Amino acid sequence: MGMGDDDEEVEEYLFKVVIIGDSAVGKSNLLSRYARNEFNLHSKATIGVEFQTQSMEIDGKEVKAQIWDTAGQERFRAVTSAYYRGAFGALVVYDISRRSTFENVGRWLQELNTHSDTTVAKMLVGNKCDLQNIREVSVDEGKALAESEGLFFMETSALDSTNVKTAFEIVIKEIYKNVSRKIL
């Protein structure tokens, strides 16, 4: 509580963002690259949901994103509705060097739509774009899918940091836009 009547209101926002996609597409590493600027070559996911909070400034306001990682639960098809609950943004990730992970994007989108209770800002993320020599999904295919599903699209590399920050920030800005449109 402020001491005086004229204390400036500090506007703060906290939004939940989820990362989904097949096992080993790089979800944990995208999050650790964004939140801690770290990358693990042989990361072994701990089981159980984990999140990191990261803030950015938009229109002079502090906007915090609580970003959730499935932490391996998708291996058992055990991503529950609680994981999706209250999410305002989602990164749907595939691995550009493994076509099957791209083919499963539709399933993840369906699951997201089933469980979400609000407008969700969605970004399709083709991760591991550093692996050009073993690419199995072209940039155009990614773009086309994103366009047809109404998603933002970006290729990223958690390994060399390409577009990681940008991808998260586009989603967070879009959430802010969606929410402020509703409350103003």
Asked if 101 is part of the footprint of ligand GDP (rule: CB under 6 A), the reply reads: no
State the Rg of the chain over Cα.
17
Asked if 119 is part of the footprint of ligand GDP (rule: CB under 6 A), the reply reads: no
**Tell me, what DSSP letter sits at residue 182?**
H
Asked if 163 is part of the footprint of ligand GDP (rule: CB under 6 A), the reply reads: no
What is d(CA 85, CA 3) in angstroms, rounded to the nearest whole number?
Answer: 37
Provide the CA 116 distance to its chain's centre, in angstroms.
14
Q: Which is nearer to ligand GDP, 20 or 63 (CB)?
A: 20
**Tell me, what DSSP letter sits at residue 144?**
H
Asked if 161 is part of the footprint of ligand GDP (rule: CB under 6 A), the reply reads: no
Binding track, positions 8-47, relative to ligand GDP; x by CB under 6 A: ---------------xxxxxxx----------xxxx-x--
Asked if 49 is part of the footprint of ligand GDP (rule: CB under 6 A), the reply reads: no
Q: Which is nearer to ligand GDP, 27 or 122 (CB)?
A: 27
Task: Tell me if 87 sits within 8 A of 69, measured CB to CB.
Answer: no
Closest CA relative to residue 119, chosen from 53, 51, 176: 176
Asked if 128 is part of the footprint of ligand GDP (rule: CB under 6 A), the reply reads: yes
